Amino acid sequence: MRGALITLAVAISASAALAQTQVPIALRDMGSFHIGGRVIEVSGQPIKEVVFTPGGVPAKVDPNGAYQIEQMYVQYFLPQNRRGKVPLLLWHGGGLTGVTYETKPDGGEGWLTMFIRNGWDTYISDAVERGRSGWTNTFKGEPVFLPLGDPWERFRIGPPGSWNADKAKRVTYHGTQFPIDAYEQFMKQGVPRWLTTDDAIVAGYIELVDKVCPCVVLVHSQSGAFGFKVAEARPDKVKALVAIEPTLGGDKNKVALLKNTPVLIVYGDNAKEHPRWSKIRQGGVDYAAVLKGAGGSVDIIDLPDRGIRGNSHMLMMDKNNAQVAELIQQWLAGRGLSE
């Protein structure tokens, strides 16, 4: 009964959040910057003549010299009615950009504006080598391009074997919350990624944390690993870590560093049963146990155990994204981080 009441309260809050979309967003400031990266030297290359615009006037380009690489793009929105005690940083998952948290692929409101409306100074970034952070041909290995169907199963919209190029033949998990009519639209958000750039990505995030924190860091999927690494590197700066379906936890040998950083880990539906996600989730559960054993504060929420069913890996885009955002908001308020 108590569980039912909590579910009801969350549902009402979610409706309130949805209704807010008609309320103007008042910002005391908004803007963007690039941070981090380094300069490398290239030499011994011939000078090129480049026609940048077909029919335009050629320009000589000397490819030798210094190049800027590995910087990171950050955009920020600072609400006039600030209620978050510290800024909130939203870090996206692999093969994506900060767009993850903006308007949903189905046109509905995303977490970015929901958290701004909740009074958080919100910083949204594109990881190094993704999106507006730019990329160079200096990374090791080949970039990964995802076929249209790949995330359908890997992000648990449908079970293994459920993807079909024919929309009418695609199978979903029962009661999926992912807006499946907007799946193709979601795939337009994808960008290439390398598999060898973690150190550069983490370096960029650490520079961001040094610039704008103390803060709350909210991570998703691939950035789970980055969030824990950065919290281990700057435990005094990361006042809470919210990990949405992290693919990896932190370093079990460094848990003592995080004893003052409360951690919330959230998993959607079918994570316990999915052949790959069950292993990923178990890794997170095992890590959390070690962190707790060292005096850390960790809450793991499996949404279906709270009666919240049907969530895919892309919780922030699911139809009930406001309900999940409200759950995170309440958890942060419970840690004294929001008025």
Which parts of 155-184 interact with a second copy (CB under 8 A)? 165, 184
**Nearest distance from C-beta of residue 162 to a second copy, angstroms:** 14
Instruction: Provide the token pair at 98.
Output: 């900060």
Distance CA 129, CA 71 (A): 8
Work out whether 19 is an interface residue with a second copy (CB under 8 A): no
Using rule CB under 8 A, residue 73 touches a second copy = yes
Q: In the set 6, 11, 18, 25, which binds a second copy (CB under 8 A)? A: 25
Which of residues 79 and 296 has its CB atom nearest to a second copy in the complex? Answer: 79
Residue 24's identity, in one-letter code, is P
Q: Are 184 and 296 in contact (CB under 8 A)?
A: no
Nearest alpha-carbon partner for 247 in 265, 269, 235, 273: 265
Q: How many of the chain's residues bind a second copy (CB under 8 A)?
A: 82
Residue by residue, DSSP assigns 148-200 as: TTHHHHHTTSS-TT---SSGGG----TT--S-GGGHHHHHTT---B-SS-HHH
Give the DSSP H/E element, type plus range, for residue 64.
none
Site for a second copy in 182-241 (CB under 8 A): 184-185, 187-192, 195, 198, 222, 225
Q: Which stretch binds a second copy (CB under 8 A): 129-137, 209-217, 301-309, 311-319?
A: 129-137
Amino acid letter, 135? W
By CB under 8 A, tell whether 54 contacts a second copy.
yes
Q: Which residues contact 39 (CB under 8 A, 6 or more apart)?
A: 66, 67, 68, 69
Q: Which of residues 231-290 bind a second copy (CB under 8 A)?
A: 247-248, 276, 279-280, 283
Query: Can residue 126 be called a binding residue for a second copy (CB under 8 A)?
Result: yes
Q: How far apart are CA 97 and CA 264, in angstroms?
A: 22
User: Counting contacts by CB under 8 A, is residue 61 touching a second copy?
Assistant: yes
Q: Which stretch of DSSP H or E encloses residue 66?
A: strand 65-69
DSSP state for residue 167 in the 8-state scheme: G
* 31 touches a second copy by CB under 8 A: yes
Rounded CA separation 255/252 (Å): 6
Q: Which is nearer to a second copy, 154 or 309 (CB)?
A: 154
* Residues of this chain, 279-338, that bind a second copy according to CB under 8 A: 279-280, 283
Choose, by CB under 8 A, the member of 44, 46, 49, 137 that binds a second copy. 137
Least distance from a second copy to the Cβ atom of residue 120, Å: 15
Q: Pick from 44, 46, 55, 161: which binds a second copy (CB under 8 A)? A: 55
For a second copy, the closer CB: 173 or 331: 173
From 55-63, 172-180, 237-245, 255-263, span contacting a second copy (CB under 8 A): 55-63
For residue 236, CA distances in Å to 83, 214, 215, 335 come to 21, 7, 10, 16
| Comparison of 110 and 262: residue with beta carbon closer to a second copy | 110
Token look-up 């011939």 returns 46
Applying CB under 8 A, the span of 105-113, 169-177, 209-217, 231-239 interacting with a second copy comes to 105-113
> Does the footprint of a second copy cover residue 30 (CB under 8 A)?
yes
**Strand 48-50 versus strand 38-42 pairing type:** unpaired
User: Any bridge partners for residue 290, and if so which?
Assistant: none
The CA R_g of the chain, rounded to the nearest whole Å, is: 21
Q: Return the number of the residue (5 or 22) whose C-beta is nearest a second copy.
A: 22
